[in-house]
Each structure stands twice: as C-alpha cells, then as structure tokens.
C-alpha cells in the first residue's frame, strides 16, 4: 500500500468530542480515492460508486498528522476497486480501514466506460513513451 497524502488535524476538523470528525476523514478519503482512480484510469470523469463497511478503529487529535493509503484490489471493466487505510503518521496506529471502494470511469454521457487498464501504472513511466 502506498501512502501518498498527509493531513494535519486542525481545530475545524474536530467533532464535539475533540477528536477527528468522521465526516471530514471520509471527505479526504473520497478525494484521495478519486485522485488515485483518475490517475490510474486516465479519465477525469471517474466517480465513486460504492464503499464497503467503514471501520473507525481509533481516532486522531488536534495536531496529529495522518496519512492516507490506497491499494488496488481489482481492475474491472469500467471500474477500479481500491482498499484504503488511514493511519497516524508518527505512531502507525490504524485509524480507519475500508476494504472496497469502487470507482467507475464514465463517458461524456455519464455512462460507465471501459478503461482498458489491467495493472498499476506510474506517470513517470507513461512519460518515457
């Protein structure tokens, strides 16, 4: 799993309990999944279709640094299925896991569009060609 994005927990990210607000974390995860899928599928019209059970295992406090990791579970026809883990950057304590996030590549009519991808690619390798 690659951890690309780091976030710093600020006062506006907290719930009334003084810990990280779950909705904020889900927003960050959804954006990270979208960015990951758009880059992999090379289609900016890629949307979130499905998220499996969300398991908040621990929390984070103001000033903590968290990192968001993504991995590919499966390349489908029009979809890509991702797995997500968020952890505390300093302690490595896991904050949340989501086993399946399904992102779907769309055409300009908003219909599912086959992406033709079968494996993880790196932008630097694409640029060599």
Ligand X SMILES: CC(C)(COP(=O)(O)OP(=O)(O)OC[C@H]1O[C@@H](n2cnc3c(N)ncnc32)[C@H](O)[C@@H]1OP(=O)(O)O)[C@@H](O)C(=O)NCCC(=O)NCCS
Does residue 79 bind ligand X (CB under 6 A)?
A: yes
100 in Cβ contact with 48 (< 8 Å): no
Does residue 43 bind ligand X (CB under 6 A)?
A: no
What's the min distance (Å) between Cβ of 76 and ligand X? 2
70 in Cβ contact with 2 (< 8 Å): yes
101 in Cβ contact with 52 (< 8 Å): yes
What's the min distance (Å) between Cβ of 102 and ligand X? 4
What's the min distance (Å) between Cβ of 115 and ligand X? 8
Interface pick for ligand X out of 31, 50, 61, 121 (rule CB under 6 A): 50
55 φ, ψ (degrees, to nearest 5): -120, 100
Interface pick for ligand X out of 15, 44, 77, 91 (rule CB under 6 A): 77
Q: How many chain residues touch ligand X (CB under 6 A)? A: 14
Q: Among residues 74, 8, 67, which one has the least CA distance to residue 37?
A: 74
27 in Cβ contact with 91 (< 8 Å): no
Identify the three-state secondary structure at position 108: coil
Stretch that binds ligand X, among 9-17, 64-72, 91-99, 103-111 (CB under 6 A): 103-111
What's the min distance (Å) between Cβ of 2 and ligand X? 22
Does residue 29 bind ligand X (CB under 6 A)?
A: no
Q: Tokens standing for 98?
A: 């989501």
- The residue ranges that bind ligand X (CB under 6 A) are 47-50, 76-79, 102, 104, 106, 110-112
């Amino acid at each position: 799993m690659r951890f690309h994005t780091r976030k710093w927990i600020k006062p506006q990210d907290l719930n009334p309990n003084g810990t990280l607000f779950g909705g904020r974390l889900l927003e960050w995860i959804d954006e990270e999944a979208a960015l990951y899928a758009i880059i992999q599928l090379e289609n900016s019209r890629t949307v979130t279709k499905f998220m499996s059970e969300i398991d908040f295992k621990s929390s984070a406090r103001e000033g903590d640094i968290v990192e968001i990791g993504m991995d590919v579970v499966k390349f489908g026809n029009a979809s890509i299925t991702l797995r997500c883990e968020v952890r505390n950057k300093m302690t490595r304590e896991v904050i949340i896991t989501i086993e399946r996030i399904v992102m779907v590549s769309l055409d300009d009519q908003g219909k599912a569009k086959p992406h033709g991808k079968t494996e993880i690619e790196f932008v630097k390798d694409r640029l060599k060609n």
